[in-house]
């Protein structure tokens, strides 16, 4: 079971009502999950809704006003398993002892399915299973939270960030030792509140300040006494998710001291260097995540960037992201809301900059759309290397069969073959992928500091007990 979501928490030292802050913070993380959202306080059962935070505003506002509190945690959900029903929305209450919310995926839950006291845990989602396991450990250790969380993490394998709200208004946040998923601490001056968020972009919406990232393998406690911290890391290599930088995170976010916007702009520049023989009349981004990369490509190549594709931001689904929609039909619906600008592309040789090609559904639709409005040629350059393997760390491409780079070429083809085969499959005149060296350089981290398993098929980084990646055959 896998989750790729957004988590947010707030604690006010001045005892101000922070529920509005959490609601706005979750809206700032809406790009990370659009299926459901929820908020929990120490005194009320979690309030949860399906859809967007902005949906059913009147009903939500009435409940949120009643939740007035100086401490709370929140969650926006994007599931890849477990279903989209309200029962799987988070945060979750664990036997009324604490509330928990999770971003990431736990790779092996076999040891968690059967609890230590012999009762079977019904597998609803990994957050529920981990929460019940933590409660069991807490009882064994007299509710020593730091010790219990550390013992829990010794058993967890995978990519995860958690926030926990206790019944006595303490917030705990922790991040796996590899640092797959982002998690950071902020400060809201007006309410004198400490904030926890999956991304710093949520702080920007609140006018709050980014203090720092939570380190891989760090537990942070926020209470009336301030911030306490403990590390359970054994000094393992990091494995920051490279997909966060090229697609999933908001461009305004700063993750582990790297500006997402700057990384994407540099990725576009790297494509201009790698494919300096590719000529065109205009450069257009696939909206919206590829816009900084297209700008970088334009600056480096000298080819003007134009807005040749627009999203309908007024339709019900127009502003949503096709990649994270859970069903194939929903992905197709999103693609229909991408509108070409005829005057920008008609009669021109068009270079399309995209962040990634996963299934090829969007690429096929975009090529078809551009040709229909008169584009002379359509060439696609991609900031991310070929995705040929399933993600085991929470991104929604769980099988080889749905990955176009694997379906068309298998696992051992060279880059020229992949470019050619994928290009033909999506009906483009040319497709060109980035490589690992240029990707890592743009992000500002070594390849050994990133998780690239969806490209390489090496999953050893998921297990902190393994010193080096293992090739899965």
Distance, in Å, from the CA atom of 260 to the CA atom of 262, rounded to the nearest integer, reads 6
Distance (Å) of CA 441 to CA 78, 162, 220, 240, 355? 29, 29, 30, 14, 16
Q: How many CB atoms lie within 10 A of CB 22?
A: 27
DSSP codes of every residue in 57-84: HHHHHHHHHHT--SEEEEEEE-BSSS-S
Q: How far is CA 468 from the centre of its chain?
A: 25
Q: 208-220 burial by CB neighbour count: b if 16+ within 10 A, else e?
A: bebeebbbbbbbb
From the CB of residue 272, how many other CB atoms can be counted at a distance below 10 Å?
22
Residues in the chain: 473
Q: 217 with 261: CB under 8 angstroms? A: no
Sole residue written with tokens 């502003």 = 319
**Spatial strand order in the sheet of 430-433:** 282-285, 349-354, 377-382, 430-433
Strands (E), 90-145: 92-94, 98-106
**Any idea which residues carry the catalytic annotation?**
5
Dihedral sign for Cα 103, 108, 114, 120, please. Answer: positive
From residue 413, alpha-carbon distances to 165, 169, 363, 409 in Å are 48, 54, 21, 6
Residue 119: count of CB within 10 angstroms of its CB: 9
CB-CB neighbours of 313 under 10 Å:
10
In three state form, how does the secondary structure of 396-464 look?
CCCCHHHCHHHHHHCCCCCHHHHHHHHHHHCCCCEEEECCHHHHHHHHCCCHHHEECHHHHCECHHHCC
Q: What angle do CA 351, 353, 359 make, to 5 degrees?
A: 115
Pick from 306, 301, 429, 317: which is nearest to 363 by CA?
A: 429
């Amino acid at each position: 079971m896998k989750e790729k979501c957004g988590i947010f928490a707030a604690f006010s030292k001045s005892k101000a009502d922070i529920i509005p802050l959490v609601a706005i913070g979750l809206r700032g993380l809406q790009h990370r999950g659009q299926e459901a959202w929820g908020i929990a306080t120490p005194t009320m059962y979690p309030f949860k809704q399906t859809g967007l935070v902005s949906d059913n505003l009147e009903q939500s506002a009435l409940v949120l006003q009643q939740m007035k509190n100086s401490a709370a945690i929140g969650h926006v959900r994007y599931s890849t398993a477990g279903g989209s029903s309200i029962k799987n929305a988070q945060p979750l209450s664990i036997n009324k002892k604490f509330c928990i919310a999770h971003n990431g995926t736990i790779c092996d839950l076999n040891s968690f399915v059967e609890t230590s006291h012999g009762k079977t845990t019904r597998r609803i989602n990994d957050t529920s299973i981990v929460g019940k396991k933590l409660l069991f450990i807490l009882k064994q250790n007299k509710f020593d939270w730091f010790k219990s969380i550390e013992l829990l993490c010794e058993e967890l394998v995978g990519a995860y960030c958690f926030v926990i709200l206790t019944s006595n208004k303490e917030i705990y946040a922790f991040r796996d030792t590899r640092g797959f998923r982002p998690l950071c601490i902020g400060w809201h001056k007006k309410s004198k509140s400490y904030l926890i968020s999956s991304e710093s972009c949520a702080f920007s919406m609140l006018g709050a300040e980014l203090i720092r990232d939570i380190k891989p393998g760090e537990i942070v406690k926020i209470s009336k006494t301030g911030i306490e911290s403990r590390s359970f890391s054994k000094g393992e290599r990091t494995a920051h998710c490279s997909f966060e930088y090229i697609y999933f995170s908001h461009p305004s976010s700063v993750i582990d001291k790297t500006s997402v916007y700057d990384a994407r702009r540099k990725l576009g520049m790297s494509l201009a260097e790698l494919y300096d023989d590719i000529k065109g009349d205009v450069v257009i981004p696939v909206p919206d995540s590829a816009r900084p990369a297209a700008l970088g490509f334009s600056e480096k190549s000298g080819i003007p960037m134009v807005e040749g594709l627009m999203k309908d931001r007024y339709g019900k689904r127009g502003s949503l992201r096709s990649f994270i929609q859970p069903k194939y039909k929903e992905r197709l619906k999103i693609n229909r809301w991408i509108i070409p600008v005829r005057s920008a592309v008609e009669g021109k040789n068009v270079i399309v900059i995209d962040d990634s090609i996963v299934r090829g559904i969007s690429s096929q639709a975009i090529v078809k759309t551009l040709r229909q409005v008169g584009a002379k040629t359509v060439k696609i350059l991609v900031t991310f290397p070929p995705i040929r393997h399933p993600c085991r760390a929470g991104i929604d491409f769980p099988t080889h069969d749905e990955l176009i780079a694997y379906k068309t070429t298998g696992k051992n083809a060279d880059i020229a073959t992949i470019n050619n085969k994928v290009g033909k499959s999506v009906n483009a005149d040319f497709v060109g992928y980035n490589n690992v060296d240029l990707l890592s350089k743009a992000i500002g981290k070594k390849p050994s500091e990133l998780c690239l398993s969806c490209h390489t098929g090496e999953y050893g980084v998921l297990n902190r007990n393994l010193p080096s990646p293992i090739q899965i055959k």
